[in-house]
Amino acid sequence: MSSQQPASLQISLDSHDDRQIITHFNFKGDILQLPLYTTQDKYISGHIKVNPPKDSKFDCSFLQIELIGETRINHVKEKLIYKFLHLTKFLTKNQSIRENGPIYHFSFSIDNFEKDYESYNGISASTRYYLKAVLEKRSGGQITEEQEFLFQIPVMTPVAPNPMSLQLRIADCLVLRVDFGKRDFYMDEYVVGKITVEKNAIEIERVEMHLIKKEVINFSDSSQITNEDLIVKQDIYKGDPQTGIFL
């Protein structure tokens, strides 16, 4: 005896030829292919398909689409969830859903929603946007389905290079000067800089450059969570660099 196939929902977003699809790790660690939206997008639209149960039917009290933006923080003691955006739009009410009926497609469009934060997936925190379809059955119970998407706030390239110089010192034994042509780099750019050995009175085995992602979360009670993640490590120089050498 086969079990009955339950009813389900399917969310499909309207596609555009120039829409970027990004490989993204969500807060659960799943690898997803998600569409990217920006501040230039005035709305998000698509449709919901209702797949009725096989050889059966049910009465729908309502079907709605929700647009949700939330930040999750993996606190030491508990997980905190803050919803900064929650919009709801009803699509239909009081409708019978049956297998041999019409194709149940319900279009939706949500315009001019707030776009204050970018999608982010970090070590201890994540910010995500997603659509949630909710079908309430008249007999009781709900059927839900979620569709995540990414949101980005484009940043104009700074006109001035805005160079940066740092000095690293170990007492009077070692002095290094690190120069970068600019302070801000995009994800698809090379980080280019120069290290000058201004003074060296100690033996050095090698010089490494670490690119570190640092995440700082501040709470209203003045507590703080800080995490660091090593992105890449590269050997700059092997051996004992002499004063005046450029790395």
Cβ–Cβ < 8 Å for 129, 119: yes
Enter the pTM of the model.
0.77
Better-predicted residue by pLDDT, 158 or 80? 80
Q: Looking at the domain covering 164-238, what would its CATH class be?
A: mainly beta
Q: Tally the residues of the chain.
A: 247
Four-way CATH pick for 8-152: 2.60.40.640, 2.40.30.10, 3.40.50.1100, 3.90.1150.10: 2.60.40.640
The first and second tokens of residue 238, run together, are: 């092997």
- Are the beta carbons of 39 and 154 closer than 8 angstroms? yes
Using CA atoms, how far residue 52 sits from 42, 101, 179, in Å, is: 33, 9, 63
Q: What is the distance between the alpha carbons of residues 43 and 112, in angstroms, rounded to a whole number? A: 6
Asked if residue 62 lies in contact with residue 92, where contact means CB atoms within 8 angstroms, the answer is: yes
What local confidence, expressed as pLDDT, does residue 242 receive? 65
Does the structure show a pLDDT above 70 at 3?
A: no
Handedness of CA 121, 127, 128, 134 (dihedral sign): positive
Q: Which amino acid is at 166?
A: L
- At 185 the pLDDT is 76
The domain ranges of the chain are 8-152, 164-238
Write the pLDDT tens digit of every residue in 94-141: 888 776 666 788 999 999 888 889 998 888 888 999 999 999 988 888
Alpha-carbon span 127 to 69, nearest angstrom: 7
pLDDT of residue 102: 65
Tell me what pLDDT residue 1 has: 41
The per-residue pLDDT for range 159-213, each reduced to its tens digit, is 667 888 988 888 888 888 889 888 877 777 778 888 888 888 887 777 788 888 8
Two domains, one topology: 8-152 and 164-238 = yes
d(CA 225, CA 80): 13
pLDDT tens readout for residues 62-98: 999 999 999 998 766 667 889 999 999 999 988 887 7
